[in-house]
Chain A
């Protein structure tokens, strides 16, 4: 059973860089064909897709965040990470990591999710 767990600072100062890690257990992050994604949800609001990294290392980002986002993978630790620079209060949200199978072209449901971690941007 695949499990994902987010970790990182719960409080980040404005203008700094938010850094989160998602640890994958129950399977190798480098085996198979998967997208590893980040999604966020401000309190009381909807889900926003941030971006994803493919098993090969290629990335796709939400155009509205692309200039500030970097997603990377560390296969030796079975982890993938999110960095969001120049944060403001608007970036305060619960951040989720998720897995999506990519073996079938065009069919990428997010079938496993982490429990989410709250990140607050405040001085």
Chain B
């Protein structure tokens, strides 16, 4: 079965840049999406189509893609950005959606 691989945790100090990676064999041909989830809340879409930002999402959130890896970058991290982040994409057929295991972002 298809898998997306994320680091379990990333830690940064306020004001620094956080980078969260997601790797998967089908990422060169399928778009990736990123979701932010805070405790007790539903996930919120923060990046779609690899690098597009939905309205209402702060500009400090950005996404990029290179080969089999996509990256969520949060510039000038704020305390409120502390959350779990999940990547999501489809398998090579495009019919099965998969989530990465999630990355816990800790703001020191």
Contacts and interface: CB of A to CB of B under 8 A. Distances in A.
Interface of A: 37, 39, 46-49, 52, 60, 62-64, 96, 106-111, 113-116
CB-CB nearest 10 A-B residue pairs: A109-B48, A113-B42, A47-B99, A46-B102, A49-B97, A60-B95, A109-B33, A46-B101, A111-B45, A109-B45
Given A106-B30, A107-B49, A109-B33, A63 B88 contact: no
Contacts of B99: 39, 46-49
B85 to A, nearest CB: 11
B36 to A, nearest CB: 12
Interface string B82-108: 000010101000111111111000000
Contacts of B102: 46-47
A48 to B, nearest CB: 7
Interface of B: 1, 30-31, 33, 35, 37, 42-45, 48-49, 54, 86, 88, 90, 94-102
Best-surrounded residue of B31, B86, B96 (most CB of chain A within 10 A): B96
Nearest to A61: B96
A27 B88 CA distance: 25
A96 B48 CA distance: 19
Contacts of B37: 47
B30 A96 contact: no
B86 A47 contact: yes
B83 to A, nearest CB: 13
Nearest to B47: A109
A60 B96 contact: yes
A39 B90 CA distance: 14
A106 B31 contact: yes
Given A64-B1, A106-B31, A110-B33, A49 B45 contact: no
Contacts of B49: 107, 109
